[in-house]
Amino acid sequence: MSQETTKETSQYIDNKSFDADLQIAGVLPVGYDGSVLRKEQSKLVAKKITIDGDNTYVATAPIGSDYADAVWQCKKITISGSDIIITWADGDAGFNNEATDLTALNYS
């Protein structure tokens, strides 16, 4: 039977996660976009929001992304009576859409 070993000690990990400026231990959140598990910068993202009648379109991408780059995650939020319906561009939550005109994308 093989014995599992860790790459780093818990003390090393604690020391690496300590933010000396803020004097707190910090962690970097991990996100899943439907196909890839990756590190996230939490709220440090670019957003574009378009409101059109009962529909609100929200696009999210890495900071500095151009609207014409296919790196945006786009969703449509529709309010219908007491229901709130959320659909995704191309039917998935991938970061693979342009955000030049959020209303022109196909949501499902």
Q: Nearest Cα to 58, choosing from 49, 67, 70?
A: 49
pLDDT tens, position by position, 69-99: 999 999 999 998 999 999 999 999 999 999 9
Q: Which residues contact 74 (CB under 8 A, 6 or more apart)?
A: 57, 58, 59, 88, 89, 97, 99, 102, 105, 107
Domain ranges for the chain: 45-104
pLDDT tens digit sequence for 2-27: 556 667 787 777 777 776 766 666 66
Place 43 in a pLDDT band, splitting at 50, 70 and 90: low
Q: Does the model's pTM come out above 0.75?
A: no
Mean pLDDT to the nearest integer, 48-64: 93
